[in-house]
Amino acid sequence: MAKRIVIDPITRIEGHLRIECEVEGGKVVNAWSSGQMWRGIENILIGRDPRDAWIYTQRFCGVCTTVHALASVRAVENALNLEVPLNAQYIRNMIIAAHGVHDHMVHFYHLSALDWVDIVSSLKADPKKASQIGESLSTWKLNSPQVMKETQDRLKAFVASGQLGVFANGYWGHPAMKLSPEVNLLAAAHYLQALEYQRKANMIVSILGSKTPHIQNLAVGGVANAINPDSQSTLNVERLYYIKTLIDEVGDFVKNVYLVDVAAVGAFYADWTRYGSGVTNYLSVPDMPLDTKGTSFELPGGYIENGEVGTFKPIRSYQDEFFRNGVKESVKHSWYKGSWARHPWEETTDPNYTKWSDDGKYSWVKSPTFNGKPAQVGPLANVLCMYAAGHASTKKYADQTLATVGKLAGAKVGIGALHSTIGRHAARAIRCAVLYDTLQNQWQLLVNNIGKGDVKTFNQPVFPSGEIKGFGFHEAPRGTLSHWVVINGGKIKNYQAVVPSTWNAGPRNQNDAKGPYEASLVGNPVANTEKPLEVVRTVHSFDPCLACAIHMVDAKGNEIVKVKAL
């Protein structure tokens, strides 16, 4: 007899994302992913000026504000067929890259490392041995015995204080925790060090975007940054070189700490390369446009079916029909009126809450499909697509990381290992390193272009009287994000955001096929149904963020075993 477990909340945010699993013989045999809050925030945009939409869309989500601002201006520019000056592309690209580097670091160290790292165990570590392990893996400057000792003292004081806050419900001591005390201590030291480096990465976003959270510098048609190499009040040489200093400081951490730590965790948890693959249709979009029209990109994107890299089909431009025609959302299993699957331009968002039904409606999240099939999005999809496209730095960091894992695990590890729970973490670190190189490149492109005397950052949008439609996409930290807009007479007539966590957390689709979270959980081991750490690991590996996929507190369920996950 299967036992039903309910994990709510799974992201520490009550009433947010709920996972229900049936467990039989120590394994998940069925799963449901449910967004527990109503989404309908796009309705607020109807009737508004499309030039202002990005200001509202960046409030969709508290975690990833920048990405919704960017997708929104791209959607409106696409509807207008408006070109964007090169400087504006480069500045936007730098914001994207710096934001992504920051976001990936925070996700690994601060939001999910404690699924794998046991802080309490690190109190028993020998700091000298921890240092030796660190120094055998990388050249990082802060792996010394003294740093390990200081970290351990700080952790001891923290644990002794009893004020554990959000850490109090952790899975410390869980039998699925496998790292030695020394490796735990090393990881904990890097957890603290990562705070400093994620801050530096985010400072780049603040400087270019004028402010975080909520950047201020975007505009439909470009950016509002005035460029004058010699003026104090604009983006000048001094500021550009300060940004360069920040970029340089972050690189060592990304390459010699984050990538190495992920490889080490992957090697020590090698069994986790066998769990959590789920949906292996992968969708990602190209990003970092290198021309004014969006027909050439530094980072490729496309679609892979059934996990076969050879099936890769590229998405080539902001006008790409393969992408434009491929996206649909279904509400057959979602709490909205009707039972349709429609293209985003044709969608409605009319709530219709009914009680939970395993075979019927059970989520506020819609179910997106690409050419009729569920698709996984996120860093793993992005890395596999870039790898398939032969992108040089992706190949370099992917091969290097897999080689490190192989060396530590004493086995050959191929790219197939990435189709897994731990593989999603590895892919995120690989993507972080790729984004880091992109950040360097885009900085150089901007400086070179300004050096040629081009200081243009904005093209004026002009709206025609009739109806126009547009879509804008962005490969965001959690995956493919697209905004879809219908404009009539200069006013928004319809607006839909198809966000990464909707792709991954969506319920069953029009053909009753499971969404990526759901499919990834089937076959996942669960040693103790009261403490389903293994389920949490798999869902966290997607970097769940439903603040934008859904909104508004609602709905209480009747739980059988209710578990609060950290």
Partner 1 sequence: MKISRPISVIGLGNILMRDEGVGVHVIRAFQERYDTPDGVEIVDGGTAGFDLLPLIEGRDKVLLVDAVNFGREPGAIDVLVNDEIPARFSTKASLHHLGLMDILSITKLAGSAPGELCLVGIQPKALEVGLDMTPEICDKVQTLVERVATRLQDWNVQCVLRSPQKSSR
Among 349, 302, 327, which Cα is nearest to 483's?
327
Q: Which residues contact 46 (CB under 8 A, 6 or more apart)?
A: 492, 493, 494, 495
Q: Catalytic one among 21, 385, 432, 548?
A: 548
Pick out residues in 387-406 that bind partner 1 (CB under 8 A).
none
Taking the complex as a whole, the smallest distance from the CB of residue 167 to partner 1 amounts, in Å, to 6
Q: Which structure tokens are listed for 333?
A: 């299993």
Tell whether residue 51 is a contact of partner 1 (CB under 8 A): no
Q: Catalytic one among 18, 68, 419, 424?
A: 68
Q: How far apart are CA 464 and CA 456, in angstroms?
A: 24
- Shorter beta-carbon distance to partner 1: residue 3 or 564: 564
Q: How far apart are CA 306 and CA 556, in angstroms?
A: 36
Is 277 a known active-site residue?
A: no
Examine residue 351 and say whether the peptide bond preceding it is cis (omega within 30 degrees of 0): no
Range in contact with partner 1 (rule: CB under 8 A) among 152-160, 172-180, 243-251, 491-499? 152-160
- Shorter beta-carbon distance to partner 1: residue 6 or 547: 547
Range in contact with partner 1 (rule: CB under 8 A) among 14-22, 246-254, 266-274, 499-507? 14-22
Tell whether residue 155 is a contact of partner 1 (CB under 8 A): yes
For Cα atoms 87, 92, 97, give the angle at the middle one, nearest 5 degrees: 125
- Shorter beta-carbon distance to partner 1: residue 221 or 379: 379
Tell whether residue 43 is a contact of partner 1 (CB under 8 A): yes
Is 432 a known active-site residue?
A: no
Taking the complex as a whole, the smallest distance from the CB of residue 550 to partner 1 amounts, in Å, to 10
Q: Which residues contact 84 (CB under 8 A, 6 or more apart)?
A: 77, 92, 221, 222, 289, 292, 294, 459
Q: Catalytic one among 64, 99, 182, 424?
A: 64
- Any idea what DSSP says for residue 480? E
Tell whether residue 46 is a contact of partner 1 (CB under 8 A): no
Q: Which structure tokens are listed for 349?
A: 């968002």
Range in contact with partner 1 (rule: CB under 8 A) among 61-69, 179-187, 268-276, 461-469? 61-69
Place of tokens 């819609």: 366
Taking the complex as a whole, the smallest distance from the CB of residue 181 to partner 1 amounts, in Å, to 18
Tell whether residue 61 is a contact of partner 1 (CB under 8 A): yes
Local structure of 406: helix, strand or coil: helix
Q: Which of 2, 24, 46, 110 binds partner 1 (CB under 8 A)?
A: 110
Range in contact with partner 1 (rule: CB under 8 A) among 176-184, 242-250, 412-420, 550-558? 550-558
Torsion angles phi and psi, residue 461, rounded to 5: -80, 145
Q: Which structure tokens are listed for 189?
A: 């030291």
**What torsion do the CA atoms of 315, 317, 318, 320 make, to the nearest 10 degrees?**
-50
Write the interaction track for partner 1 spanning residues 161-200; mark x where CB under 8 A is met and - where it is not: x-xxxxx------------------------x--x--xx-
Range in contact with partner 1 (rule: CB under 8 A) among 41-49, 138-146, 416-424, 527-535? 41-49
Residue 367 C-beta-side C-alpha neighbours within 13 Å: 31
Q: Which residues pair with 368 in a beta bridge?
A: 329
Taking the complex as a whole, the smallest distance from the CB of residue 257 to partner 1 amounts, in Å, to 16
Q: Catalytic one among 180, 277, 284, 501?
A: 501
Q: Which of 2, 14, 26, 231 binds partner 1 (CB under 8 A)?
A: 14
Is 367 a known active-site residue?
A: no
Q: Which structure tokens are listed for 141?
A: 């400057």
Tell whether residue 202 is a contact of partner 1 (CB under 8 A): yes
Q: Which structure tokens are listed for 263?
A: 């490889």
For Cα atoms 535, 540, 546, give the angle at the middle one, nearest 5 degrees: 115
Is-contact 16 539, C-beta < 8 A? no
Is 154 a known active-site residue?
A: no
Taking the complex as a whole, the smallest distance from the CB of residue 195 to partner 1 amounts, in Å, to 6
Amino acid present at 122 = S
* CA dist list (Å): 304 to 330, 343, 425: 21, 21, 19
- Shorter beta-carbon distance to partner 1: residue 136 or 163: 163
Q: How far apart are CA 445 and CA 434, in angstroms?
A: 16
- Shorter beta-carbon distance to partner 1: residue 69 or 75: 69
- Shorter beta-carbon distance to partner 1: residue 213 or 307: 213
Amino acid present at 420 = S
Catalytic residue positions, numbered: 14, 61, 64, 68, 478, 501, 545, 548
Name the residues that contact partner 1, by CB under 8 A.
12-16, 40-41, 43-44, 56, 59-63, 65, 106, 110-111, 154-155, 158, 161, 163-167, 192, 195, 198-199, 202-203, 212-214, 547, 551-553
